[in-house]
Structure 1
């Protein structure tokens, strides 16, 4: 189980899972409207992601039943929890800072204040069969453009830095209140880590891995691409679809639908909600980190 913060997180989640060899068993907790997104949302639906309405009275039973169902999952899985409950924006950061000031909490500079109910519920119901929680922090290097759907469709690469810290589930607090405080403390540490990345453009010294691209997955993609292209050409040849105005009109409508779907995805990825905030970093603080940090670089 893991949780993290940052823009474009869905693309990064799938990329990291793909390069770690567990894309087929990666799940996430998402807002309900996400499943209606063209292609990507449908794949979430078919992959049995957990969809929430952001209303705890309605979502509590959904989370409980969904998490308990994972106990009998046929293979090791990753479950991504986006504990902030929403995507990062400048406006939401300002609101979080105002709330923290009024409530006497540490004022965030790079992250939102976590909503801990879902996290506490996940820890409570999955403690017996999930061995660890992975704290994932993502940052975009200063010289790199952020990964977007548009860049993805254009075949343009992006590089991101991913910091991963493993916490054994048995080491997490037993009570709900203590688990919630543990989550908040992790986000305070995450905030300081992002401060450091702003200054140094790196997460610091330590284990660093440049993750490559699995050959097996590449072969699968190439095989399916060849099969689909060959099938499409055979279908056009058999149906003589482009030999009549009716066929041409049908093809044009199909292309228009595909264009609209792709445009919807691009707009979704470029919305203001995914715009990273520009906040001055705080002064570095002394103090160490907990054990087993890992750093990855994706291209």
Structure 2
């Protein structure tokens, strides 16, 4: 394989990448490479934190690669992808040391108003749609219907709470990578879940 065992990223599966590049090269102007890391002093974000509205700091390094800079042949594209992952792994190592990406300017993007408007719009639509459905189905017109609706909402709430709890980082099992040497001396990596 000829690729060093990365410490921070998984070894890329280049077949899908090569196919995507060959199919989209004529109409996609660039490849956007995003590297994400969590600073040492920041709590990793979880679904529960998002639902509670708690903020979490993440660092994102965005690099734009023009399609003109991507090689033509499939083998060269695969090697180009592997080379980018080696660079990405080194950048993440440097981030661990300096707690910032090298040669990068930190830009605080804040919370955009557009996402708040979209969220409020969806909430209003769902609440209005649910109310109209309950009104149409006559579930709110009797004690039996009210009880059925309340029990249904309680079950959904409990299930969502359980699913959110399992999505938290501290409850998940970390990925383990164990190096394996092949017969020709090339180091491979086996990912264990």
User: In which range does the TM-score fall when normalised by the shorter chain?
Assistant: 0.7 to 0.9
Q: Distance in 2 between matches of 1:122 and 1:240?
A: 50
Determine the structure 2 residue equivalent to 1:250: 149
CA displacement at 1:269 relative to structure 2:
5.4
Aligned pair 1:181/2:79, yes or no?
yes
Q: Distance in 2 between matches of 1:234 and 1:104?
A: 61
User: Over alpha carbons, which structure has the higher Rg?
Assistant: 2
Q: Which deviates more from structure 2 when the two are superposed, residues 154-163 or residues 104-113?
A: 104-113
Deviations along 1:178-215, whole A, 9 cap, x unmatched?
10000000010001000000000000233332113332
Change (3 A) 1:168 1:249: same
CA displacement at 1:147 relative to structure 2:
1.3
Aligned pair 1:146/2:44, yes or no?
yes
Q: Secondary structure at the match of 1:222?
A: helix
Q: Secondary structure at the match of 2:72?
A: coil
Q: Secondary structure at the match of 1:267?
A: helix
CA displacement at 1:254 relative to structure 2:
3.3
Aligned pair 1:158/2:49, yes or no?
no
Q: Which runs of 5+ in 1 are unaligned?
A: 1-102, 279-299
Aligned pairs, how many? 175
Change (3 A) 1:237 1:179: closer
TM-score by length of 2: 0.76
Determine the structure 1 residue equivalent to 2:21: 123
Q: Distance in 1 between matches of 2:13 and 2:151?
A: 46
Change (3 A) 1:179 1:194: same
Q: Distance in 2 between matches of 1:237 and 1:175?
A: 61
Deviations along 1:211-262, whole A, 9 cap, x unmatched?
1333233223224434544565677689572851442133212330343245
Determine the structure 2 residue equivalent to 1:134: 32
Q: Secondary structure at the match of 2:107?
A: strand
How do residues 5-84 of structure 1 correspond to structure 2 at under 5 angstroms?
none
Are the aligned partners of 1:108 and 1:191 in contact in 2 as well (CA < 8 Å)?
A: yes
Q: Distance in 2 between matches of 1:269 and 1:120?
A: 34
Determine the structure 1 residue equivalent to 2:120: 222
Q: Secondary structure at the match of 1:209?
A: coil
Aligned pair 1:197/2:85, yes or no?
no
Q: Which runs of 5+ in 2 are unaligned?
A: 178-193
How large is the RMSD of aligned CA atoms in angstroms? 2.9
Change (3 A) 1:257 1:187: same
Deviations along 1:105-164, whole A, 9 cap, x unmatched?
322111111110000000000000000001110000001111111211222111100001
Q: Secondary structure at the match of 2:48?
A: helix
TM-score by length of 1: 0.51
